[in-house]
Chains A and B, each alone.
Chain A
């Protein structure tokens, strides 16, 4: 972290080492626990019990190897991926279509409909969870990825529409007029011009939906009870209660379960931060 220096452009009446110190402390507090469990996964349960705050000595790789060679871990990664992809696809496609109509057509009740969707921001999935459980049971969707993905996508729609509508609104009318004069239909304008131009917005809502689904716990907890259908958060929770005696194994499992989300975040962080701050400023 030695490159974390201040190129002080403005001069203030208190010292820059203080800022430097705060930044380092922040990094330590943020990463400390994460580094601890990653390192803990390289120790034995015995060593962890003898000295919980120690460093790996010797380094043991069997905990991680066991997780990486267990089929249930990969099954859970796969299940989480499938559910997150379905959720993302539905929320982005349905969301952008609705946002397009709400942004570029004049019709009676348009603002009312928009408010109807915005209201959904206030409905946490928790409030609807008991009826959702009954509904998915009646639809025969328990234990199925679709049973988790459909409600997740539905609850993701409000935020998606709120973020995308201004995007689609901002496309100049001249662009639409020109396309119509050239003989394109409105549908053609949507598919060939509006969609590509709102690409960054689509990626943002897609990434938010994906991460939301990837981290979701409540809905999978209630709808998926067979271990072969578990998502990663369910797997981590179950593993940690099943192997309470084997702390090192739990540390390794938990550490590995963080990797997909972290990699995805590092690749997509620009869109996440832009999306969140954009939505909030909106």
Chain B
């Protein structure tokens, strides 16, 4: 086997698999999006951009898009300070630190389905959450956590935070291990307070880790599906629809494959634009300004 033969031998299986099951379906989605199609007949009813027009003017889709944006922003604004704060606190010699890390990471390893079923049971109107509030004498904080359109999205966001903040903490802790001990000591000798050291030295040094985390968090928020599908199915009154639950609902429950594909393409464009923008303006920045534009 020549050198070319070897290269072909190593690359062909992966390229084939990738093209057949990733690239081909995605280009097909682009094609379907211009048709009215139920997935069964021949693909003949070409309707141009009508599916796209319908999606962007549809109030449920607009709501879904807004929900994705809300989750993206809330994740950054809430999970970053919590994750970073806890990581900074725990970044020291602790007995039982290994066990602590393991425990913090557990929710991340559970399936979203399992976490979703678990929290649904806890958050039912007569479930443990409300019962605990009652036992604590906090009846007025009791809520219809998943049935009240005004708060269901925030309930889901709370569960998402429970599930994913551990990942942020572990990631930040790993980043913090790369900050040399001597820097802390030197700054402390110069009279810097704990917070000054964190803010001026430590946080800037783990800037790259924070930026990558933020990126992963945003991409994850755009794709949000399992947990929502299990806990609310997009309800009540569409108040928790995401682009993905809307896509699956239209595609598989109403057999609107063309329209669903248009939603898929919009969703993909959204992550692509976000990725390019992020690559250009945030990841490319130097380490001086670590928290991606947010004030510390």
A residues contacting B by CB (< 8 A) are 1, 3-10, 12-14, 18-19, 22-23, 26-27, 29-31, 33-34, 36-37, 40, 49, 51-53, 90, 93-95, 97-98, 100-102, 105, 107, 113, 117, 120, 122-124, 126-135, 150-151, 153-155, 157, 161, 186-187, 190, 211, 214-218, 222, 232-234, 236-237, 240, 247, 250-251, 254, 257-258, 261-262, 265-266, 269, 272-273, 276-277, 280-281
Contact = CB atoms under 8 A, between A and B. Distances in A.
Contacts, number: 289
22 contacts: A6-B93, A13-B193, A13-B194, A26-B86, A90-B17, A93-B13, A101-B10, A122-B219, A124-B222, A127-B29, A128-B21, A130-B251, A150-B21, A216-B111, A217-B112, A233-B113, A240-B120, A250-B117, A257-B111, A276-B167, A280-B213, A281-B175
A216 to B, nearest CB: 8
Interface in B255-296: 257, 260-261, 264-265, 267-268, 271-272, 275
Contacts of A34: 106, 118
B93 A128 contact: no
B230 A129 contact: no
Contact of A280 (B86, B106, B110, B216): B216
B147 interface: no
A37 B118 contact: yes
A94 B100 contact: no
B36 interface: no
B201 interface: no
A101 B39 CA distance: 39
Contacts of B268: 122-124, 127
A101 B126 CA distance: 58
A70 to B, nearest CB: 17
A75 to B, nearest CB: 17
Contacts of B209: 280-281
Given A4-B100, A8-B92, A265-B109, A52 B17 contact: no
Among A23, A52, A102: residue with most chain B CB under 10 A: A52
A97 B14 contact: yes
A222 B247 CA distance: 13
A100 B8 CA distance: 12
Interface stretch (B45-53, B59-67, B128-136): B128-136
A153 B22 contact: no
Contacts of A236: 111, 113-114, 117
Contacts of B167: 276
B248 interface: yes
A131 B261 contact: yes
B110 A131 contact: no
B188 interface: yes
Given A33-B122, A154-B18, A265-B109, A4 B94 contact: yes
Given A4-B95, A123-B22, A222 B90 contact: no
B14 A157 contact: yes
A25 to B, nearest CB: 10
A12 B212 CA distance: 29
A187 B9 CA distance: 10
Nearest to B127: A52
Contacts of A129: 247-248, 251, 264
Q: B-side binding surface: helix, strand, loop or mixed?
A: helix
A29 B169 CA distance: 14
A273 B18 contact: no
Given A135-B20, A240-B121, A258-B114, 14 more contacts: A4-B95, A19-B89, A22-B89, A23-B90, A33-B119, A34-B118, A107-B7, A120-B22, A123-B22, A123-B26, A124-B271, A126-B223, A251-B121, A273-B101
B73 interface: no
A276 B93 contact: no
A40 B99 CA distance: 25
Contacts of B13: 93-94, 97-98
B216 to A, nearest CB: 7
A225 B201 CA distance: 54
A105 B6 contact: yes
B225 interface: yes
Contact of A269 (B95, B102, B226, B261): B102
A187 B5 CA distance: 11
B138 interface: no
B129 to A, nearest CB: 8
B22 A155 contact: yes
A262 B106 contact: yes
Given A94-B14, A237-B230, A134 B28 contact: yes
